[in-house]
Structure 1
Amino acid sequence: MEYNVNDLEQFSLNIYDVKDQLKQHVYKRSAEALAAGDLARDAVQTQEELERRRLAAREAFLDGIGGLPEYGGPLNAAIAGELRIEGMRIEKVVYESRPGTHVTASMYIPDGLTEPSAAVLFVCGHFENGRLAPNYQAVCQTIAAAGLIVFAVDPVGQGERATYFDPAAGKMLVPRSTSDHEQVGAQCWPLGDGLARYFLHDVTRAVDYLNTRPEIDPRRIGITGNSGGGLQTTMAMLAEPRIAAAAPATFVMSRESYLYAGQAQDAEQIWPGMSAKGFDHEDLLMAMAPKPVLVLAAQYDFFPIEGTRRTVERTKRFWEMYGKPEQLVLFEDRCTHMYSNRMAGAAGAFFAEHLLGAENARLADAIRGGAESGLFSRLTTYFSLVVPLAESELACTSGGQVRGHYAGERGPCEENADRVRELERLRSEMSEEERKRRALEWLERTVLANRKPRELNPRHLPLGIVDGLTAESWLWWSQEGIFNHAFVFRDEKSADSKKPMVIAVWERGTRELASRMNWIKETVAAGKAVMVLDVSGEGVVTANAICPRGMYDRFGTLHKLATDLFFIGDSIAAIRTFDVLRAVDMAALPNHIAAETIEVYGEGKFNLYVRLAKALDRDRRVAAWSAGSGMQSVAEWYEDLYYSEIDVLGTVLPGMLRYFDLPELG
């Protein structure tokens, strides 16, 4: 068959299915880690063992997100206004979670309170308008109608707290909610942080604020929220011991069930290393035993209901250890992903029962008996009658955003920049020898420790003459379950002789040949062979699509696989750096196609892999490493708040800046 360059860019293998290998590799390793976690939880048989388990889970979680910000100073809380509706008043509250970081909130206070009462912290899911969303207003009013104070707070990047609102332009430069979270959250990873640290710190500071209010009994504080609010609820269950009761909605499931659902998640939902350490959603529930927990679930959710049921069923025994099996309840509604009217009614009855001692709110008995409590029924009806207030009425700021309302407003972007400078300072205080030793030890662990090498077992397929050059397709094992691929170009007249070989590493690999052909020809004319490398998930070994989004788009296939790898303590960047090292092994094979000297050239984003691989080439097998255009340091990324979202996570190594930045590798 005759090939031209365009043909090569569409080339596919017919000797091995390489399109599903990256997904299968990630899923297999994830399933193994999660199965080990099941065994570890199964071994917990006593209250003492349970306590050790939840302490370990808490420590692993906090370590994975970079710990919590070390600030517990003045809240500088203020009430920006008050509204009255039937049966309650609504205060517009602002507090400072950290200096310059203002959290906007609404406090729903039922009429008739005469002594300190119970409160429920309401944390928001991913509605762009946060606590101002009509659905969330209805939930908050419904729970307040059960007699509970409700404190609803805007999370990072939602409601009045948009990270990328430009006051001068009067618009969002990055949309609120998941896009906002991912834009700033991706820049948390190289710092060894997770965006979740800021979400959770805001929650703990909300509890601090509730403790200052004379209307509230600090021993009776609950928490609820759905979707991203369910996430925040479970984080509080794990790491905020002052929570007395919790009702996570439309979030609790299992990592394995969600792994196969084909969905990506945004940054605050990704907890590096947690699966590798054997932790799962069961641990989030176990952390609360024997306190009251109501798991609210939607049967038609994209969070698989099967995972929810399994997790609740497997954790029941931890409440039984304390003789309180009735304090873990699963409530299902026949609905899609939402905080439904029945969920709101169930939550109101649940908190009334456990925080107010209401006799008519025995939700657990009602569910088990197939009947609905009187309070549950009334609250469900109440929800349907709520008329939401206009956003402008509930807003705490004059312009609807804290940025522009408060001078010097800070958020995770500013915190990330501070963290970059602090890590640079800490590294600079070390001797060069110590800094390099730590960097190489960490890099070796990160790139090499998770691999299961195997023989290269190369496959060579001659492709004939392409644009005046002899071309071959090479295929070899990079590690167990992962093939890499390359096209090798040589001079037609001396194709059988040994020549220096240049391994070329760039985005899209062999799918990007036409625009690189002049460089390839020039390099071959200089007496060298060129190996255009397809690292994992690129070129001929591009993964099959898992979801409808574009392969390289935010929340697309590679984004999902990258974050799945984060959970098991790995990354696409680490895998691809290993791929470069294995390409060197391939080029160095002692046979008729071996290179007499090896060079490696990287360009664009992928020059990162080349620079990392160079640091790991301790035997100096490569005669020359060179990096063309592309990232010169990771720190420079933080100067670009509005960077392109395309294929970002493929070049992220979580925790890297705690050990080095690229210029420090030499």
Structure 2
Amino acid sequence: MKVRGLYRFTQLLSNKCYLYSYTKIAIGIMCLWVFPLHAQQSTNIIDWRADEMLNTYLMQQMHQQYVLRNTRLQTALQSAQGVHSYQQQLQAAYHKLLGPLPQKVPLQPLVTGTLQQDGYRIEKIIYQSLPQHHVTANLYIPAGKGPFPAALLFCGHEATAKSTPSYQQTAILLAKNGFVVLIVDPVSQGERHQLTDSTGKPLTRGGTTEHTLLNAAAALVGSSVAAYELWDNERGLDYLLSRREVDTTRIGCLGNSGGGTQTAYFMAFEPRIKVAAVCSYITSRERTFELAGPLDGCVQIPNEGKQGIEIADYMHMLAPKPLLILSGRYDFVDYIGAVQAYNEAKQCYTTLNAADHVQLVTVDDGHGISQPKREAAVRWFRKWLYKDDAPVKEGTLNVLPAATLNCTTSGELNNSMPNELTLQQHFLKTATVLSNSRKKLTGKALADTLQQLLALPSAREKVQVEDTGTFSHPLGKIEKKLLRSAHEPPLPFLLIRPQEQAIKKVLICLQDEGKRALLDSAALLQPYLQKGYAILLPDLRGTGETADRPEFNNTKFYNKEYRNVMSSLHLGRPLIGQRVTDLQLLLDYLQTDAAFRQREVAVRATGMSALVALHAAVVDDRIKYLQVADHLPSFTTIIQQVLQKNWYSVVIPDVLRYYDVPDLLRILDKRFDFP
């Protein structure tokens, strides 16, 4: 049988590979009519808050990672040599997180307009960051004779980006105090929305949504939105240093909120930065994940926890260069975490004999770069780049409308620059390059690659299965079971044995909605029982009764299990890989039970769960037969259809560098002849 594209269910009573959708609908309706009372029986097995179990498990795993990281740090802080060694380790881990960065292309800068203001002027700048991909920015230049020290100012998540009043005020205050300032529009904000209609209108509700959807696509090709924002800023620095008004030896960076994130990533990456200020971002990553959950896609990089990197570590990488932390006591960015991070940084700087190079300024306000924070930031920059520590007073500053500051005529690069490529298109081109260049993996080489990318354990602990009860159903007696294995969350499943004959084979059925939905499809299961199959209906972690509650997953992120998906990626354990482990644990159980030990195992899976089954079958030959339906035909589809919901659940970082879904189908071709 030749495998092609998207699969439909295998016909129930034959070896053919297609089940027409109208038949499927008819059977579903029949199930609801025939088995309404029995469907009401509780299939739940876990007698605690099962819907919180996976997140609790992930948080415990994360705490273990950070315990190891904290131990390493405390050892390093005992000496300057220890800190230097720790910094080198961090730099290596950080660059590994970022993945391959693009090659530099000519900036081809354009000045599309100049605005003369009182004591400074504003130039409207467009420069090329990637081939046919541009960045919009405003350059504030003080009046007088230069060269002047300069600052990169990174924006938070406001849709208005560089024209946001507080960012204009920060730039103006810096310019009036003798700094050239470049404010960069982040991707997905200002004039740089990537997902737009033909008129340039954004297709998502805001930059944080677009960041998140693009981040899923970026991960598949081994990168992240954070890395591309960093690259835009790197090219912005290159442009800034090309200006004759700038003293290239005196450069700093600062930012607020999401711009604070960019500042942390940039100051740790770029050695040309001499001083930095971070507003409304510094806190504890560990506390943030537990208290608030993961934020949008540009705020954290996959595998950060695996590499043992905390937010404070980006400050450690900057040390002993001067760093100012600006925090609001009532900010939603956890203030206790901010103090913890500052105390860590203070230890680091003290060990390097530079205790006065780091400072925390706390203001009794909330989120954002308010006037007292702006004044503190400019004073900090003057202290280190002008050797002047006098207080700075803001006064009245004249901000301009967004349209006045726009660098394009339409307000969007997408429909202003000829042949402009979006990040989505760039990711698609990268995916094509990877597809054409990657080696076709087979056999053990492919299995080993999956083992690594999915972070599957090299050895699993023994399984124990607890019987928790039974109930009657038209299919027969349904057994409730709970599988336990050390270091993994408990796995609930239902077991149905054939009633009038010995067990000939075993069928494991997987569906994204879990075992309850499968049991409601009793008419689909009955033929297997009649053929002597024992049937297992599991809730793989995060599905069925263990599915996360909707209120913990903001709909703007387009994924119903966003917090657990992102927490898993942070740990370096993609959720799809954890579910492969669950399936392997079920196979382990079957080997321990005499009733099933010698029986061949088949797996029937639909939707996202089909990808779990495909990966499991490659790494585990105990799966002898497969039926898969309605699955993702290619990981590239996620990039092509980035606006679809729930893609994040199957994201595997850097997967397209090594294989794609059709490669799995090709390897497993012979196992689709379902008996």
TM-score (norm. length: structure 1): 0.89
**Residue identity in the other structure for 1:56:** Q
**Residue identity in the other structure for 2:172:** Q
- 1:15, CA displacement in angstroms? 4.5
- 1:613, CA displacement in angstroms? 0.3
- 1:90, CA displacement in angstroms? 1.1
* Alpha-carbon distance change, 627 to 478 in structure 1, aligned in 2, over 3 angstroms: farther
In structure 1, which of residues 127, 141, 156 is the aligned counterpart of residue 172 of structure 2?
Answer: 141
Does residue 325 (structure 1) correspond to residue 332 (structure 2)? The answer is no
* Alpha-carbon distance change, 401 to 639 in structure 1, aligned in 2, over 3 angstroms: same
- 1:242, CA displacement in angstroms? 0.5
The equivalent of 2:540 in structure 1 is 535
* Alpha-carbon distance change, 557 to 58 in structure 1, aligned in 2, over 3 angstroms: farther
Q: Please, which moves more after superposition, 590-599 or 274-283?
A: 590-599
**Residue identity in the other structure for 1:291:** K
Q: Please, which moves more after superposition, 553-562 or 415-424?
A: 553-562
Residue by residue, what CA displacement relative to the aligned partner does 1:22-67 show, whole Å, maximum 9, x if unpaired? 1222111211111111111222244443333223222212211213
Alignment check: 8 A CA contact 2:493 2:539 kept: yes
Does residue 211 (structure 1) correspond to residue 241 (structure 2)? The answer is yes
- 1:81, CA displacement in angstroms? 0.5
- 1:536, CA displacement in angstroms? 0.3
Q: How does 1:125-164 map to 2 (within 5 A)?
A: 125-164=156-195
The equivalent of 1:367 in structure 2 is none
* Alpha-carbon distance change, 546 to 33 in structure 1, aligned in 2, over 3 angstroms: farther
Aligned length, in residue pairs: 630
In structure 1, which of residues 473, 482, 489 is the aligned counterpart of residue 489 of structure 2?
Answer: 482
Alignment check: 8 A CA contact 2:150 2:246 kept: yes
The equivalent of 1:622 in structure 2 is 623
* Alpha-carbon distance change, 133 to 255 in structure 1, aligned in 2, over 3 angstroms: same
Residue by residue, what CA displacement relative to the aligned partner does 1:589-609 show, whole Å, maximum 9, x if unpaired? 333466733110111121100
In structure 1, which of residues 35, 49, 53 is the aligned counterpart of residue 86 of structure 2?
Answer: 53
**Residue identity in the other structure for 1:20:** E
In structure 1, which of residues 5, 11, 26 is the aligned counterpart of residue 58 of structure 2?
Answer: 26
In structure 2, which of residues 312, 315, 318 is the aligned counterpart of residue 285 of structure 1?
Answer: 315
* Alpha-carbon distance change, 226 to 555 in structure 1, aligned in 2, over 3 angstroms: farther
Q: How does 1:384-423 map to 2 (within 5 A)?
A: 385-423=396-434
Residue by residue, what CA displacement relative to the aligned partner does 1:589-643 show, whole Å, maximum 9, x if unpaired? 33346673311011112110000000011xx32331221221122233332243x
SS in structure 2 opposite 1:102?
Answer: strand
SS in structure 2 opposite 1:188?
Answer: helix
Does residue 92 (structure 1) correspond to residue 99 (structure 2)? The answer is no
Q: Please, which moves more after superposition, 596-605 or 226-235?
A: 596-605
Alignment check: 8 A CA contact 1:77 1:96 kept: yes
SS in structure 2 opposite 1:260?
Answer: helix
**Residue identity in the other structure for 2:641:** D
- Mind listing any 5+ residue stretches in structure 2 that lack a counterpart? 1-34, 668-675
Does residue 504 (structure 1) correspond to residue 509 (structure 2)? The answer is yes
In structure 1, which of residues 583, 589, 611 is the aligned counterpart of residue 586 of structure 2?
Answer: 583
CA distance in 2, matches of 1:84, 1:467: 81
Alignment check: 8 A CA contact 2:212 2:296 kept: yes
Alignment check: 8 A CA contact 1:64 1:273 kept: yes
CA distance in 1, matches of 2:475, 2:574: 39
CA distance in 1, matches of 2:413, 2:311: 34
The equivalent of 2:472 in structure 1 is 465
**Residue identity in the other structure for 1:95:** Y
Does residue 605 (structure 1) correspond to residue 635 (structure 2)? The answer is no
SS in structure 2 opposite 1:275?
Answer: coil
Alignment check: 8 A CA contact 1:452 1:480 kept: no
The equivalent of 2:109 in structure 1 is 77
**Residue identity in the other structure for 2:98:** I
Q: How does 1:288-303 map to 2 (within 5 A)?
A: 288-303=318-333
Calculate the aligned-residue CA RMSD, in Å: 2.4
Q: Please, which moves more after superposition, 275-284 or 398-407?
A: 275-284
Q: Please, which moves more after superposition, 338-347 or 655-664?
A: 655-664
The equivalent of 2:153 in structure 1 is 122
CA distance in 2, matches of 1:341, 1:435: 60
In structure 1, which of residues 556, 561, 566 is the aligned counterpart of residue 564 of structure 2?
Answer: 561
**Residue identity in the other structure for 2:89:** A
- 1:275, CA displacement in angstroms? 1.9
* Alpha-carbon distance change, 359 to 259 in structure 1, aligned in 2, over 3 angstroms: closer
- 1:5, CA displacement in angstroms? 4.4
**Residue identity in the other structure for 2:308:** G
Alignment check: 8 A CA contact 2:114 2:121 kept: yes
Residue by residue, what CA displacement relative to the aligned partner does 1:302-351 show, whole Å, maximum 9, x if unpaired? 22111111111122133234433211010111222211111111111111
- 1:387, CA displacement in angstroms? 4.3
SS in structure 2 opposite 1:220?
Answer: strand
CA distance in 1, matches of 2:545, 2:323: 49
CA distance in 2, matches of 1:514, 1:199: 47
- 1:102, CA displacement in angstroms? 1.0
The equivalent of 1:549 in structure 2 is 554
CA distance in 2, matches of 1:662, 1:141: 52
Does residue 230 (structure 1) correspond to residue 260 (structure 2)? The answer is yes
Alignment check: 8 A CA contact 1:87 1:110 kept: yes
* Alpha-carbon distance change, 556 to 627 in structure 1, aligned in 2, over 3 angstroms: closer
- Mind listing any 5+ residue stretches in structure 1 that lack a counterpart? 361-372
**Residue identity in the other structure for 2:526:** K
**Residue identity in the other structure for 2:562:** H
Residue by residue, what CA displacement relative to the aligned partner does 1:227-270 show, whole Å, maximum 9, x if unpaired? 11001101111111111110011111122221221232222222
**Residue identity in the other structure for 2:196:** F
| Aligned-pair identity (%) | 24
- 1:437, CA displacement in angstroms? 4.1
CA distance in 2, matches of 1:14, 1:580: 18
- 1:128, CA displacement in angstroms? 1.5
Alignment check: 8 A CA contact 2:464 2:485 kept: no
CA distance in 1, matches of 2:389, 2:583: 66
In structure 2, which of residues 567, 573, 576 is the aligned counterpart of residue 570 of structure 1?
Answer: 573
Alignment check: 8 A CA contact 1:18 1:483 kept: no
Alignment check: 8 A CA contact 1:3 1:463 kept: no
The equivalent of 1:364 in structure 2 is none
* Alpha-carbon distance change, 16 to 347 in structure 1, aligned in 2, over 3 angstroms: closer
CA distance in 2, matches of 1:169, 1:80: 21
* Alpha-carbon distance change, 233 to 517 in structure 1, aligned in 2, over 3 angstroms: same
Does residue 274 (structure 1) correspond to residue 294 (structure 2)? The answer is no
**Residue identity in the other structure for 1:517:** A
Alignment check: 8 A CA contact 2:509 2:518 kept: no
The equivalent of 2:660 in structure 1 is 661
* Alpha-carbon distance change, 5 to 513 in structure 1, aligned in 2, over 3 angstroms: farther
* Alpha-carbon distance change, 435 to 269 in structure 1, aligned in 2, over 3 angstroms: farther
SS in structure 2 opposite 1:196?
Answer: helix
The equivalent of 1:366 in structure 2 is none
Alignment check: 8 A CA contact 2:161 2:185 kept: yes
Alignment check: 8 A CA contact 1:5 1:514 kept: no
SS in structure 1 opposite 2:103?
Answer: coil
- 1:488, CA displacement in angstroms? 2.6
**Residue identity in the other structure for 1:266:** D
**Residue identity in the other structure for 1:58:** Q
Q: How does 1:152-231 map to 2 (within 5 A)?
A: 152-166=183-197, 168-231=198-261
**Residue identity in the other structure for 1:516:** S
- 1:472, CA displacement in angstroms? 2.0
CA distance in 1, matches of 2:459, 2:60: 13
Alignment check: 8 A CA contact 2:503 2:533 kept: no
Alignment check: 8 A CA contact 2:46 2:492 kept: no
CA distance in 2, matches of 1:498, 1:340: 71
* Alpha-carbon distance change, 474 to 555 in structure 1, aligned in 2, over 3 angstroms: same
**Residue identity in the other structure for 1:622:** I
- 1:514, CA displacement in angstroms? 6.6
